[in-house]
Structure 1
Amino acid sequence: MKKLILILVLMCAGATLRAQILTPVKWAYAGKRISKTEAVILIKATMDDGWHLYSQNTTEGGPVKTTITFTPDAKYKMIGKTIEPKAITEFEKAFNMNVSFFEHSVVFQQKIKMSTAGPLTVKGTVEYMTCNDQKCLPPDQLSFTVTIK
């Protein structure tokens, strides 16, 4: 009987811990063909109120910058770097420096040149860190897949 009670307590504790995992950033991915041989990969982050996501251009010594990495493939190549809109830059006490970040939402864009005219699958990862005015969450990494038709 004691084992049964212990198992029930541990199961409830595990469910409670899972319910407390914060996910203040939601990600969406899309691909848009802009010509027969070029496309744009769109990576959108939407942050909960009060949370922000750091720029790809964050200075070393501060928070973990957003890093988007595309899986190499002979069917496409990157055209330039992943671009982002103008970020908010402010002094953050937590890092004792000016940092660049986004609030509410941001769309990152990467142009690619395709070597095939048919549908194409592009894969990659996003590494990012998010904070609010009280805490920062540990950096996270997500995989993504985008199909261009």
Structure 2
Amino acid sequence: MKHLSIAAMLIFLTASAFAQIAQPVKWAYAAKKINDKEAVIFIKATIDDGWHIYSQNIKDGGPVKTSFTFSPAAGYSLIGKTIEPAPITHFEKSFGMDVSYFEKTVVFQQKIKLKKAQTTVKGSLEYMTCNDHKCLPPTDLDFSVTIK
């Protein structure tokens, strides 16, 4: 009976460890109308201490860069590309190159032209997060922001 309890505890602990997949980045989305014809979509990443995500501007051969895809819709069109603040740039031995990344928080912005007074902007983003010891597999997320 004692061996059964230990075996059950080991199974529970193993299952708990696998259930706690690291998620060091939290994402939030918002929009602000500039005027009746334009708005800005804000995509904010809050990054746990010790972790970072990469810039949209990474050369081939490096880590997976952060990227945004906006779904076409009748209610809006994109104005230019998604912008980001100035990143930290540092040589990473694991990639053998300078890479640009963000720590703690970063807000990406996409300006849009409004074709309707109210619309919903949908899209997806891809990013990879690393710390000094490891990188997690790239993650894809869908997002949706309503503009009123």
1:50 corresponds to which residue? 50
1:71 corresponds to which residue? 71
**For each residue in 1:29-56, what CA deviation from the matched residue of structure 2 results, as whole angstroms up to 9, or x when unmatched?**
0011110011000000011111111000
1: CA distance, partners of 2:43 / 2:9: 42
Report how many residues are paired.
145
Distance apart, 1:16 and its partner CA:
2.7
Identity among equivalent positions (%) equals 61
2: CA distance, partners of 1:63 / 1:16: 27
2:113 corresponds to which residue? 113
Q: TM-score, normalised by structure 2?
A: 0.91
1:136 corresponds to which residue? 135
Distance apart, 1:75 and its partner CA:
1.2
2: CA distance, partners of 1:98 / 1:89: 6
Gaps of 5+ in 1: none
- 1:1-149 to 2 correspondence within 5 Å? 10=11, 13-19=14-20, 21-117=21-117, 119-149=118-148
2: CA distance, partners of 1:7 / 1:50: 34
1: CA distance, partners of 2:126 / 2:66: 6
Gaps of 5+ in 2: none
Distance apart, 1:74 and its partner CA:
1.6
2: CA distance, partners of 1:22 / 1:8: 22
1: CA distance, partners of 2:134 / 2:17: 20
The one-letter code of the counterpart of 1:129 is: M
Helix, strand or coil for the counterpart of 1:62? coil
